[in-house]
Chains A and B, each alone.
Chain A
Amino acid sequence: MMDILKLDKVRKTYGKHVAVDDVSFDMPTGCIFGMLGPNGAGKTSLIRIITTITRADSGVVYLNGEKLGNKHPEQIGYMPEERGLYKKMKVGEHLIYLARLKGLSNKMAKQEIGHWFEKFGIEDWWSKKVEELSKGMQQKIQFISTIIHKPKLLILDEPFSGLDPINTNLIKDEIDELNKNGTSIIFSTHRMEQVEEICEHIVLINAGKNVLQGSVKSVKDQFKKNKFKVHYEGTLPVDVAEHFTITAQNKDAITVQLSAGNNSNDFLQYLLRHGLHIHAFNEILPTLNEIFIRQVGASTNS
């Protein structure tokens, strides 16, 4: 399947400051793609290029295999981190306006808005003014406006910031459902636990550069340290420390770091040979958070 998004050496400078420094990555169609990076790493600059808000100084962006152009905004839905609506407009009119700017007909727009209003149980909001709504309610409207035109690529910049847990779950469910229906989603954040929960692929941006990319699994594999944790019953052989490096140990569990020559089977066989009863055997993978901190920290130090 063709990649929904492909960046080839995209570069953007503001004066002397290089905001995006030759970033290249591919985003497979239909995935939820985490764009990670510390504050000021260049995520927003990159997103603005993808959403055609600004243009790259050099490099090419392909959307669905086509060079990014003027007709593509209609296929993209973007919810910026800093959100805003016209406060004086009525909710219904506002959504129609934004939907029509994305190429929907008046009739289609009304139909879609009706659908979403029903889904969120907010049918009576149509003629309320935006400023009469609470902040959380405005976020819901903002979300609807972002997806009303059924974008192929949805870009969410810190979508959960400022949302209460109930609305967070609501939006999370919608993201899942959209993704199931084939929408590719870029999820930009610096909150790692959300990425681990939601994303299949990630790209890590730091200081304008793409430092890491791939599926969450492959990234973790790349950074795993051959660590295993065993829950057991019985007595460990006394000389276990001579064969394996123990990184943590308590009454009925032990974590070891295997050296390059050993694999997990060797360790397991060793334990079995000594008559231990194994309850659980896990590979300890690094969390994205650890990888993130390591990568970002490494590049800041260098």
Chain B
Amino acid sequence: MDKLWLIIQREYLTRVKKRSFILATILTPLAIVLFMVVVSFILSYESGEVKHIAVLDQANILNKTIGKDEKNLYFHILDENLDSLKANFSKEKYAGILVIPPITNIDASKHKVYYYREDPLGLDVQGGVVDRIKNKLRDYKIKQLGLDEKNLRSLNFDIEFNPQPITNTKEEITSITTIVAVMIGGAMGTIMYITVFIYGMMVMRSVMEEKVNRIVEVMISSVRPFQLMLGKIIGVGAVGLTQVAIWGLLIPLIYLVVGLFFGLNMEAAPMDMEMANTAIDPEELEGMVVLAMQELSRQNWLMIIPLFVLYFLGGYFLYASLFAAVGSAMGDDLGEGQALTIPITIPVLISFYIMMVAVRSPHSSLAVWSSIFPLFSPIVMPARLAFSPPWWQIGLSIILLLGTAIFMVWLSARIYRVGILMYGKKVTFKEIGKWMFSRG
């Protein structure tokens, strides 16, 4: 036990003290935040260029106004002739001439407008212009067709889909429950997928290095190979937890600090865009955010977090021990050994794809059975947790996962203890199979 603890300490401390670890741990959140800042800056970018657009209202639908002037964009409704305007275009300060031709058929499903220009309009400006004309044309049509505006407005409505439990529980379900559950599930499944890969690979590389630089024979003359392998898996796992925990704290913190420092309203910027595109009422959006926050706080975190940790441990031990076994079988030739990792990476990849399906239909039989099957469950089940799967499924899947993880650690240790002493031979799966049954 003492020795296992010493090994864990070394594996942990040598990694955590490395400059590359410190840099990656601090720089990654900085890079992420920087990325977000740059993105929000780009999205909120407005060209400082002032544009004046001449408007020829031949259809006579504008009533002398085309709506409020936007920032840096001015409309001038003129009564001039298009040809004379065109002829004088270079002298005038207009960026372009917008022509709304007379409306010949009021029932047409498509109306054309023309824009004469030297430089094209930006896509969002163009969309804004189209929206203005559309609104005006709509008003014009209402008037011409003699429709009642009040009645028309009542045609403009949304459906709020509200699932309700059948049994009379306290549980509240709102329209946004599913969306929040998908977000939580997707995030947890993805975190699981990434950590299993990154830290599993780290274990593999480290096992391989020890074998290649021959320290391993000295080590296992002092400790059992099993202790060395387990110590490494636990040590690297602790490094992973440290890194994820630091990121979890640093990313929001840096985001906040940067936000304050630059006075950027970072949340608002991308949302403005969203609103422009989907035309969601800002108040409605705010309502949704509040609802989502409520939904998040209503999640049974006391159940989800411990279960997530349990699945993390099970999944990590299961895959990291397999990676360790493969690392021990690899020789100095990394490329040749790469083929050995395929049987491990395939189930991880498959479960990632199942996870993406599972968040959309969490109670489908694919999702249910893969969240019980131990090679997939560490990634698939966390994605389902927010959808409150039945307890028997969670229980069964946890028991199977932990059982399999222990079995895999044991099995990998059997491969490991033979593999680390095997040099200069190309290892095949058949050979690895023999190692499992050979005597220490």
Q: Which residues of A contact B217 (CB under 8 A)?
A: 53, 78, 80, 82, 84
Inter-subunit contact A88/B220 (CB<8 Å): no
B interface footprint on A31-60 (CB within 8 Å = 1, 0 otherwise)? 000000000000000001001111101000
Report yes or no: A101 in contact with B219, Cβ–Cβ below 8 A: yes
Interface size on B, residues (CB 8 A): 23
Q: How far is the CB of A280 from chain B (nearest CB, A)?
A: 48
When the two chains form the complex, which single residue of B7, B219, B221 contacts A76, counting CB atoms closer than 8 Å?
B221
Residues A86 and B215 in contact in the complex (CB < 8 Å), given A15-B434, A97-B6, A98-B222: yes
How far, in Å, is A100 (CB) from chain B's closest CB?
5
**Given contacts A53-B421, A57-B439, A97-B6, are A87 and B213 in contact (CB under 8 A)?**
yes
| Separation of A88 and B215 alpha carbons in the complex (Å) | 12
B429: min CB distance to chain A, Å: 16
CB under 8 Å from chain B, chain A span 216-250 = none
Contacting B at CB under 8 A, from A67-83, are 70, 73-74, 76, 78-80, 82-83
- Chain B 15-36 interface 0/1 with A at a Cβ cutoff of 8 Å (1 = within): 0001000000000000000000
Interface membership of chain A positions 91-113, coded 1 if the CB is closer than 8 angstroms to chain B and 0 otherwise: 00000011011100000000000
Question: B213 to nearest A CB, angstroms?
Answer: 4
Q: Which residues of A contact B7 (CB under 8 A)?
A: 101
B143 an interface residue at 8 Å Cβ cutoff? no
Q: How long is the Cα–Cα vector from A89 to B217 in the complex, in angstroms?
A: 17
Contact for B218 among A54, A55, A80, CB less than 8 A: A80
Bound Cα distance from A82 to B222, whole angstroms:
16
Contact B14–A86 (Cβ < 8 Å): yes
Nearest B-chain residue to A51, judged by Cβ: B221
B3 at the interface (CB under 8 A from A): yes
Closest-CB distance, A282 to chain B (whole angstroms) = 44
Q: How many of A's residues come within 8 Å of B, CB to CB?
A: 31
**A141 → B minimal CB distance (Å):** 11
Quote the shortest CB–CB distance from A51 to chain B (angstroms).
4
> In the assembly, what is the distance between CA of A15 and CA of B220, in Å?
22
* Least CB distance, A44 to chain B, in whole angstroms: 9
Whether the Cβ atoms of A98 and B218 lie closer than 8 Å is yes
Chain B nearest Cβ from A188, distance in angstroms: 14
A15 to B425, CA, bound (A): 14
Q: With a CB–CB cut-off of 8 A, which chain B residues contact A142?
A: 218
* B222-A85 in contact (CB<8A): no
Which A residues are CB-close (under 8 A) to B298?
none
Determine if A80 and B214 form an interchain contact, defined as CB atoms under 8 angstroms apart. Answer: yes
Determine if B141 is an interface residue (Cβ-Cβ < 8 Å).
Answer: no
Known pairs A48-B421, A89-B14; A73 contacts B213 (CB<8 A): no
- Check if A145 is an interface residue, CB within 8 A of chain B: yes
Cα distance A73–B217 when bound, in Å?
A: 13
Complex Cα gap A222–B216 (Å)? 41
Contact A83 B434 (CB under 8 A): no
* A48: B residues at CB distance < 8 A: 421
Which residues of chain B from 406 to 440 have any CB-CB distance to chain A below 8 Å in the complex? 421, 434, 438-440
Say which residue of A15, A53, A82, A84 sits within 8 Å of B221 (CB atoms): A53
Contact of B223 with A by CB under 8 A? yes
Q: What 1/0 mask marks residues of chain B from 201 to 229 whose CB sits below 8 Å from any chain A CB?
A: 00000000000011111111111100000
Contacts from B to A (Cβ < 8 Å)? 3, 6-7, 10, 14, 18, 213-224, 421, 434, 438-440
Q: A53-B221, A80-B221, A98-B218 provided; 10 other pairs, C-beta below 8 A?
A: A48-B421, A53-B220, A55-B440, A76-B221, A78-B217, A78-B218, A80-B218, A86-B14, A86-B213, A97-B10
Q: Mind listing 28 A-B residue pairs with CB under 8 Å? A: A14-B438, A48-B421, A51-B221, A53-B217, A53-B221, A55-B440, A57-B439, A73-B222, A73-B223, A74-B222, A78-B218, A79-B218, A80-B214, A80-B217, A82-B217, A84-B213, A84-B216, A84-B217, A85-B215, A86-B213, A86-B215, A87-B213, A89-B14, A97-B10, A98-B222, A101-B223, A142-B218, A145-B218
Question: Which of A's residues lie within 8 Å of B, judged by CB?
Answer: 14-15, 48, 51-55, 57, 70, 73-74, 76, 78-80, 82-89, 97-98, 100-102, 142, 145
